[in-house]
Structure 1
Amino acid sequence: MSVDAVRLNHAVLFVSDLTRSLAFYREAFGMEVVAEEPRANAAFLRLPRSGNHHDLGLFGVGSQQPRPRGSLGLYHLAWQVDTIEALEEAKATLVRLGAYGGESSHGATKSIYAHDPDGNEFEVMWMLPRAQWGAYENAAPVERLDLAAEVDRWAGVRTAAELVPLDPRS
């Protein structure tokens, strides 16, 4: 029997400078600090629309050499937005912060990539409506993203509510 998880609840990152990282995630995502643990040099943050206790934990560990890209361990985190317009706004924010790293279409998802002050990569993504996945149901290509065309096509379509389908066993 497998673990009956419904989604990833939160992520925790080691960061070199807790104050700097808090400022970045607050400005980039509008997160609020919901708890601090000074003994561990840690803070826990929540996204503005989240019903979760916390979505991200940050533990300050001091300056260290970053892990080389492609080495074992976490590659990136992915933050989902509700509309394609929110993805477009995310890109503008990340460009303004000097954190933008690129973008791709993965078929069912449209993605912007960026990095935090310690070089931790993250993705901000929007997912097509489940009924529109079609050929992408079991595929995740890496293709050029034409964000303007995607905004024209999908404007106003909200998909975040499709995150956790009902359990067919209940």
Structure 2
Amino acid sequence: MDITLDHCVIHVTDWERSNAFYRDVLGAEVVPQGGGYAYRLGRQQLNVHGPGLTPSPVARVPVPPGGSDLCFVWPGSPGEAAAHLKAHGVAVELGPTLRPGARGQGHSVYFCDPDGSLLEFISYG
């Protein structure tokens, strides 16, 4: 079997703020979906629970705003990732630091989205 991740869910409190952040900082395509939005990144997608939505089904304990911890592969160096974040006014919480990822060891830079979810850019090679 070759099972891959298709999408996961985050929860946000402000559509306009979050749409701008995920579009500008992560390069996501903001896709209208069911009265809200999804954030498409290449072949993966973040489905988004947010204001005005009552999603169903949800996990036994649904993800709260700011309750996600997600890692994204950054195509350049960790220094370039940190510079990209700085250019967008996003504070680096930690890094660059060596961390294990799906492709082995990489160098990661950690930061938060506007609701406080912990995000990571990992660079390999």
| TM-score between the two structures when normalised by the length of structure 2 | 0.71
Residue 127 of structure 1 and its aligned partner are, at CA, apart by 2.2
Q: 1:116–1:43: structure 2 CA closer, same or farther, 3 Å change rule?
A: same
What is the DSSP-based 3-state SS (H/G/I as helix, E as strand, rest coil) of the residue aligned with 2:49?
A: strand
**What is the number of residues matched between the two proteins?**
108
Post-superposition offset of 1:18: 1.4
Work out whether residues 17 and 60 of structure 1, in 8 Å CA contact, stay in contact via their aligned partners in 2.
yes
C-alpha deviation, 1:83, in angstroms: 3.4
Unaligned runs of 5+ in 2: 53-63
Give the CA RMSD over aligned residues.
2.5
Between 98-107 and 18-27, the greater mean CA deviation after superposition: 98-107
Whether 1:77 aligns to 2:74 is: no
Structure 1 runs (4+) greater than 6 angstroms displaced: none
Gaps in structure 1 of 5+ consecutive residues? 68-72, 129-170
* TM-score normalised by structure 1 residue count: 0.54
1:113 paired with 2:105, answer: no
Distance 1:80 1:66 in 2: 23
15, 35, 46: which one aligns with 2:40? 46
Aligned to 1:56: 46
Cα drift, residue 112 of structure 1: 0.3
Alignment of structure 1 residues 1-170 onto 2, 5 Å: 4=1, 6-38=3-35, 42-47=36-41, 50=42, 52=43, 54-61=44-51, 74=68, 76-84=69-77, 87-96=78-87, 97-103=89-95, 104-106=97-99, 108-128=105-125
1:72-105: CA deviation from partner (whole Å, max 9, x where unpaired): x75x100012332xx3322112223233211111
SS at 2:17 equivalent: helix
More displaced stretch, 7-16 vs 87-96: 87-96
Write the distance in 1 (CA, Å) between the matches of 2:33 and 2:92. Answer: 28
Which amino acid in 2 is paired with 1:44? A
In 2: Cα distance, 1:18 partner to 1:105 partner: 33
Deviation at 1:116, TM superposition (A): 0.3
Q: Amino acid of the residue matched to residue 60 of structure 1?
A: G
Aligned-residue offset at 1:56: 1.4
Percent pairwise identity: 32
Return the alpha-carbon distance in structure 2 between the equivalents of residues 61 and 7 of structure 1: 29
Q: Which has the higher strand share?
A: 2
Q: Which has the higher contact order (CA 8 A, sep 6+)?
A: 2
Contact 1:26 1:32 in 2 (8 A): yes
